[in-house]
């Protein structure tokens, strides 16, 4: 896996004052942030609320003269921390979204395909649940397109540890899913 990610399509130099640039940034990062938070176990509605709060925090951060470096990683870190706080307060479980996702896949397919897809999703869900929290978080952020350096900033760990955890997670998933 390479450490590259898709660059933002806008300059952040005037983000605090330019509504069009802020809107573009929101349009670019809203979906990846929501997807990441849903994978962490939040409902879609909760994830959207957390993303909106993260963008409000970004506006406050920039308005108060905060750093404009790596806004993407900053937003993921803020959203990640808020999601964790929400999960702690509601004692959420990671497995719930996986079960509902497997059910959605099974409902849309032919009976034969549904059985195969459901089994595949079940095996993947079971394999993901065997990962440590750190491995799962690193893998999900990498799947969202973040670079190892950005993941390290979000999770506050060295880049080498991020790399090791992503590789270990992929290896474990491949073994458990017979890939």
Residue ranges per structural domain of the chain = 12-92
Q: The CATH number of 12-92 is which of 3.40.50.720, 1.10.10.60, 3.30.70.100, 1.10.1740.10? A: 1.10.1740.10
How confident is the prediction for the chain on average, in pLDDT? 78
- Whether 83 contacts 50, CB under 8 Å: yes
Long-range Cβ contact pairs of 96-104 (< 8 A, separation 24 or more): 96/41, 97/38, 97/39, 97/41, 97/42, 98/124, 98/125, 98/128, 98/129, 99/125
Check: pTM over 0.75? Answer yes or no: no
Question: 97 CB contacts (<8 Å, ≥6 apart)?
Answer: 38, 39, 41, 42
Predicted confidence (pLDDT) per residue in 148-179, tens digit: 999 999 999 999 999 999 999 999 888 887 75
Distance from C-alpha of 38 to C-alpha of 32, rounded to nearest angstrom? 10
């Amino acid at each position: 896996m390479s450490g590259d990610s898709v660059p933002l399509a806008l300059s952040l130099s005037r983000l605090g004052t330019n509504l069009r640039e802020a809107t573009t940034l929101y349009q670019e990062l809203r979906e990846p942030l929501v997807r990441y938070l849903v994978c962490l176990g939040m409902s879609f509605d909760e994830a959207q609320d957390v993303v909106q709060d993260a963008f409000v925090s970004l506006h406050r951060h920039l308005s108060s003269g905060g750093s404009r470096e790596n806004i993407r990683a900053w937003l993921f870190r803020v959203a990640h921390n808020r999601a964790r706080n929400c999960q702690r307060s509601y004692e959420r479980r990671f497995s719930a979204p996986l079960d509902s996702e497997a059910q959605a896949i099974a409902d849309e397919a032919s009976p034969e395909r549904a059985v195969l897809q459901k089994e595949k999703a079940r095996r993947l869900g079971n394999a993901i649940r065997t990962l440590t929290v750190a491995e799962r978080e690193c893998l999900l952020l990498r799947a969202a397109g973040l670079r190892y350096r950005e993941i390290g900033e979000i999770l506050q760990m060295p880049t080498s540890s991020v790399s090791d955890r992503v590789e270990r997670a992929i290896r474990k998933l491949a073994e458990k899913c017979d890939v």
